[in-house]
């Protein structure tokens, strides 16, 4: 009787195991929205992990350089003796041990400063259209970054100036004692005087902070620039350190050593005293400002080097999405417990990972990303796919051969067309629209005066009894208009004077700023042109014949060439118009070999676009170079396979001119 229950239990266990195995083999079904949410969350999670890892990689290199620099400066300018009977390491530890707390605080401040700098960095370049807009575009991270720069750099100077046993003090008022020999018995007297070095120190701190912020925001060093070639990271860092060393050397020498020395001589004349400590102060200021400028340049360039490296948006390397069979037992228990199933529905996506069949899903997410940095890296990855990754290309072609409704290549082409259309809309906007915006404020004031005058005239016609009041109102309005015009003229004179003295521009051309901003953010468009053109060329040269037939079936070459023809024609016309419409003077052109003669007005500025739209002029050339180069490569490879009928009538002559080589890439 005891053996029968045991046999029954064994049979039940075997049946349960068979049921579990059969349920493990059953497929898991998810809704489309659940899979889309899972993909979005996984992509965002991996992007955050990449940014965190990149941020930490920057400081893994930056912090040792910073610590070495701080310890070296504290050792060199410490008053303790450098030559003792003990070892060199013990001397360094003894001399720098008293200042290690201040060094640690400064390193922590640099970490916070680097985090705030990282939060304001992007690849999107903003061109302010007014002097006021330069300050309105500043966000809270910008203000935090400016505040930290204003605090940390003067504290750095004060910390190192307080280390050595100076014969000068940094207090505002000092006590000067001397012996008075005018009397029969010399008497020691002390007087309070203003300290010369205090004013030098304050002006040096102001100059250091202002020059650093002006360099960052005028040159837009918080905007990443992608390298022109794929250079190894080690070589980039080595060349960056070499360049930063010499830039910091001559910048600190010219701005701070000579500046403080000449300013100190001026103060000596004003204070009617003389001391050789001015030279010592200037030399130390040169060393300390050299260290600060080198730190800022190194931090900025390290962020740019690491955040512009390529990413591979693939399922194999960037993110592994597999089915987790161990969690299927948890799903069975949830089915047996309906109350717990409702509570854990939101976690099923991460407990049971769905199988994603689209191998280019993360590439599409990157190309369609709202972050300009991720979007640019996505197009850069697609360029790598088009040139070097044949397995990933075959997946794109397999999607097209299966006759899917929306293959990945069509989604990529649609994003390419949208980018070209957005740029063409910005560039084709008429100049008169921006000129009306420029004169909008003046017109508003004139309209106000005209309306007030019209109202007063109507009141004169309707109310004959109030002639005196209306005449007074008219005279007041006329006086206001005269005062307004005088105020505008005075404002223009002040702006021109400040522009001549400081070089800061106050009057902006909205049309110029809009074109400059549009052409300064074309990195994604350039990589999209190069990547799609390379994909077509690789399909003809490196891949099978069927792949080229698939591209022709979906008309990929036509969808690539038609928007590119249109945008290049628009850019050619725009460059031609700008060379004749914009007034040139010696302040708006980039001085070339004739710059010495321009001071004496012996030659006229050339009638071309040289120097106009300073940041966009190279982009005219780069955009035309990349676009025409890819057109020539595509038509040289598959030009005989493309018919004129597949193009619009107005673009057929352009197609034939490119096909016959009747164009110049460098024009």
**Same-domain status, 301 and 322:** no
pLDDT at 357 over 80: no
Query: Rounded to 5 degrees, what are φ and ψ at 524?
Result: -65, -40
Are the C-beta atoms of residues 385 and 408 closer than 8 Å to each other? no
Q: How confident is the model at residue 331 (pLDDT cuts 50, 70, 90)?
A: very low
Please give the angle made by the CA atoms of 227, 229 and 230, to the nearest 5 degrees: 95
Tell me: do 348 and 411 sit in the same domain: no
**Least confident among 112-126, 310-324, 644-658:** 310-324
63 vs 71: CA distance, rounded Å: 12
Judge whether 107 and 70 are in contact, CB under 8 Å.
Answer: yes
Residues 521, 124: contact at Cβ < 8 Å?
yes
pLDDT at position 97 is: 58
Q: Residue 474 is inside which H or E element, if any?
A: helix 467-502
Average pLDDT over residues 515-524: 85
| Confidence band, pLDDT 50/70/90 cuts, at residue 330 | very low
Query: In the prediction, which pLDDT does 200 show?
Result: 82
Distance of CA 76 to the CA centre of its chain: 37
Report whether 198 contacts 161 (CB < 8 A).
no
The reply to whether 261 and 351 lie within a common domain is: no
**What is the domain count for the chain?**
3
113, two tokens: 């400063």
Tally: H helices and E strands in the chain = 27, 2
User: What pLDDT is recorded for position 406?
Assistant: 82
Q: What are phi and psi of 170, to 5 degrees?
A: -105, 10
Ramachandran angles phi, psi of 339, nearest 5°? -70, -40
- Asked if residues 181 and 161 have their Cβ atoms less than 8 Å apart, the reply is no
Is the residue at 611 inside a domain? yes
Whether the Cβ atoms of residue 481 and residue 473 lie closer than 8 Å to each other: no
Is residue 5 classed as helix, strand or coil in its secondary structure? Answer: helix
Tell me how crowded residue 35 is: count the other CB atoms within 10 A of its CB: 15
Highest mean pLDDT (candidates 40-49, 295-304, 391-400): 295-304
In this structure, the answer to whether residues 249 and 322 fall within a common structural domain is no
Most confident by average pLDDT, 78-87, 288-297, 323-332, 590-599: 288-297
Identify the DSSP state of 641.
G
pLDDT beyond 70 at 313: yes
Rounded mean pLDDT, 414-433: 90
Q: What pLDDT score does 465 carry?
A: 47
* Average pLDDT, integer, range 630-642: 91
Say what percent of the chain tops pLDDT 90.
Answer: 22
Q: Are residues 46 and 99 in the same domain?
A: yes
Query: In sequence order, what are the residues at sequence separation of 6 or more whose Cβ sits closer than 8 angstroms to the Cβ of residue 335?
Result: 341
Residue 204 lies in a domain: yes
299 and 409 share one domain: no
Mean pLDDT across the chain: 75
DSSP assigned state of 667: -
Question: Both 230 and 325 in a single domain?
Answer: no
Please name which of 212, 249, 243, 228 lies closest in space to residue 117, comparing C-alpha atoms: 212
Max Cα distance, the chain (Å): 133
Residue 464, pLDDT above cutoff 60: no
Which residue in the block uniquely carries the two structure tokens 């673009």?
651
In a domain? residue 393: yes
Residue 238's SS3 state is helix
Give the integer Cα–Cα distance in Å for 411 and 303: 32
Q: For residue 628, what pLDDT is reported?
A: 92
Rounded CA-CA distance 667/664 in Å is: 6
Q: Are residues 243 and 114 in the same domain?
A: yes
pLDDT by residue (tens digit) across 238-278?
989 998 999 888 888 888 888 788 877 877 777 666 677 77
Average pLDDT over residues 452-481: 53
pLDDT at position 322? 41
Output the pTM of the full model: 0.75
* Alpha helices for 173-325 (secondary structure H): 196-218, 233-252, 258-271, 277-307
Report yes or no on 443 lying in a domain: no
Report pLDDT digits (tens) over 551-592: 999 999 999 999 999 999 998 888 777 765 554 444 443 333
Whether 457 is covered by a domain: the verdict is no
Instruction: Say how far apart CA 75 and CA 97 lie, in whole Å.
Output: 10
Burial of residue 256 (CB within 10 Å: 0-12, 13-18, 19+) is buried
Helix (H) or strand (E) holding 194, with range, is strand 187-194
- pLDDT tens across 466-479, in order? 455 555 555 656 66
Structure confidence at residue 445 as a pLDDT band (50, 70, 90): very low
Give pLDDT, residue 369. 92
Alpha carbon dihedral 437, 439, 441, 445, in 10-degree steps, equals: -140
Query: Model confidence over 64-118: pLDDT tens digits?
Result: 999 888 888 877 776 655 454 455 555 555 555 567 788 888 889 999 999 999 9
543: domain range?
Answer: 371-432+510-659
Average pLDDT of the residues in 296-310? 91
pLDDT at residue 596 in the model: 37
- Are residues 526 and 417 part of one domain? yes
592/314 Cα distance (integer angstroms): 47
- 211 touches 255 (CB < 8 A): yes
Q: What pLDDT, on the 0 to 100 scale, is given for residue 213?
A: 86
| Half-sphere exposure in the Cβ direction for 104 (13 Å, CA) | 6
Instruction: Indicate whether 157 and 277 sit together in one domain.
Output: yes
* Cβ proximity of 206 and 149 under 8 Å: no
Residue 332 has pLDDT above 60, yes or no: no
Question: Both 353 and 401 in a single domain?
Answer: no
pLDDT at site 124: 86
CB 317 within 8 A of CB 385: no
Give the lowest-confidence range in 110-114, 229-233, 339-343, 583-587. Answer: 583-587
The single residue listed with the structure tokens 């250079």 is 231
pLDDT value at position 333?
Answer: 47
- Per-residue pLDDT tens over the stretch 650-662: 999 999 998 888 8
Is residue 537 one of the residues assigned to a domain? Answer: yes
Mean pLDDT, range 511-518, rounded to an integer: 81
Task: Count CB-CB contacts under 10 A for residue 473.
Answer: 17
Q: Cβ(583)–Cβ(605) under 8 Å?
A: no
Model confidence at 602, pLDDT cuts 50, 70, 90, reads very low
Q: What is the mean pLDDT of residues 342-357?
A: 53
pLDDT reported for residue 562: 95
Residue 476 confidence (pLDDT): 59
Residue 98 domain flag = yes
The conformational region for residue 220 under phi > 0 = left, psi -120 to 50 = alpha, else beta, is left
Q: Are 196 and 267 in contact (CB under 8 A)?
A: yes
pLDDT at 277: 77
* Same structural domain, 162 and 247: yes
Inter-residue contact 395 to 359 (CB < 8 Å): yes
Closest CA to 562 of 649, 625, 622: 649
Please give the pLDDT value at position 504: 60
Residue 415 lies in a domain: yes
Q: pLDDT at residue 156 above 70?
A: yes
């Amino acid at each position: 009787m005891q053996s029968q229950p045991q046999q029954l239990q064994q049979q039940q266990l075997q049946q349960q195991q068979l049921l579990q195995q059969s349920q493990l083999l059953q497929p898991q079904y998810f809704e489309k929205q659940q899979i889309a949410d899972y993909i979005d969350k996984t992509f965002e999670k991996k992007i955050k992990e990449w940014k965190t890892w990149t941020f930490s990689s920057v400081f893994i290199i930056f912090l040792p350089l910073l610590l070495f620099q701080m310890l070296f400066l504290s050792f060199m300018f410490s008053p303790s003796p450098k030559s003792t009977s003990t070892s060199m390491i013990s001397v360094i530890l003894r001399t720098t041990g008293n200042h290690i707390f201040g060094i640690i605080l400064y390193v922590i401040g640099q970490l916070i400063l680097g985090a705030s700098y990282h939060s304001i960095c992007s690849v999107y370049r903003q061109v302010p259209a007014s002097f006021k807009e330069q300050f309105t575009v500043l966000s809270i991270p910008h203000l935090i970054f400016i505040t930290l720069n204003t605090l940390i750099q003067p504290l750095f100077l004060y910390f190192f100036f307080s280390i050595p046993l100076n014969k000068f003090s940094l207090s505002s008022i000092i006590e000067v004692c001397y012996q008075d020999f005018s009397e029969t018995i010399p008497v020691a007297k002390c007087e309070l005087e203003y300290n010369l070095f205090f004013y030098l120190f304050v002006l040096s701190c102001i100059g250091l902070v202002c020059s650093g912020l002006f360099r960052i925001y005028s040159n837009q060093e918080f905007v990443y620039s992608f390298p022109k070639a794929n250079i190894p990271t080690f070589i980039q860092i080595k060349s960056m350190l070499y360049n930063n060393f010499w830039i910091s050397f001559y910048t600190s020498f010219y701005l701070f050593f000579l500046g403080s020395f000449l300013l100190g001589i001026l103060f000596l004349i004003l204070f009617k005293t003389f001391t050789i400590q001015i030279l010592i102060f200037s030399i130390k200021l040169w060393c300390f400002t050299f260290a600060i400028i080198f730190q800022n340049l190194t931090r900025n360039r390290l962020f740019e080097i690491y955040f512009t490296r390529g990413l591979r948006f693939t399922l194999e390397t960037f993110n592994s999405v597999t089915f987790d069979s161990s969690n299927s037992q948890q799903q069975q228990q949830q089915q047996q417990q309906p109350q717990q199933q409702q509570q854990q529905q939101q976690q099923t996506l991460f407990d049971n990972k769905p199988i994603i069949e689209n191998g280019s899903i993360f590439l599409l997410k990157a190309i369609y990303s709202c972050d300009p940095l991720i979007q640019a890296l996505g197009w850069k990855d697609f360029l790598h796919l088009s040139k070097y990754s044949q397995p990933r290309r075959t997946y794109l072609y397999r999607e097209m051969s299966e006759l899917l409704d929306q293959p990945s290549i069509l989604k990529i082409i649609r994003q390419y067309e949208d980018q070209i259309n957005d740029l063409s809309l910005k560039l084709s906007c008429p100049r008169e629209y921006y000129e009306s915006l420029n004169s909008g404020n003046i017109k508003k004031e004139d309209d106000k005066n005209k309306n007030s005058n019209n109202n007063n005239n109507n009141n004169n016609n309707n109310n004959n009894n109030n002639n005196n009041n209306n005449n007074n109102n008219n005279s007041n309005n006329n006086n206001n208009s005269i005062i307004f015009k005088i105020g505008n003229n005075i404002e223009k004179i002040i702006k021109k004077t400040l522009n001549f003295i400081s070089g800061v521009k106050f009057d902006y051309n909205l049309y110029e700023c809009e074109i400059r901003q549009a052409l300064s953010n074309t990195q994604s468009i350039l990589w999209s042109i190069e990547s799609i053109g390379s994909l077509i060329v690789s399909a003809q040269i490196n891949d099978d014949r069927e792949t080229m037939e698939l591209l022709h079936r979906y008309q990929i070459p036509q969808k690539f060439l038609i928007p590119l023809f249109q945008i290049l024609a628009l850019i050619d016309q725009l460059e031609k118009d700008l060379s004749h419409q914009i007034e040139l003077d010696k302040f708006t052109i980039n001085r070339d070999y004739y710059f010495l003669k321009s001071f004496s007005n012996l030659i006229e500025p050339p009638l071309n676009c040289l120097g106009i739209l300073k940041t966009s002029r190279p982009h005219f050339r780069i955009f035309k170079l990349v676009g025409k180069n890819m057109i020539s490569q595509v038509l040289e490879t598959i030009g005989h396979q493309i018919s004129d009928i597949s193009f619009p009538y107005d673009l057929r002559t352009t197609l034939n001119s490119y096909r016959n080589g009747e164009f110049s890439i460098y024009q």
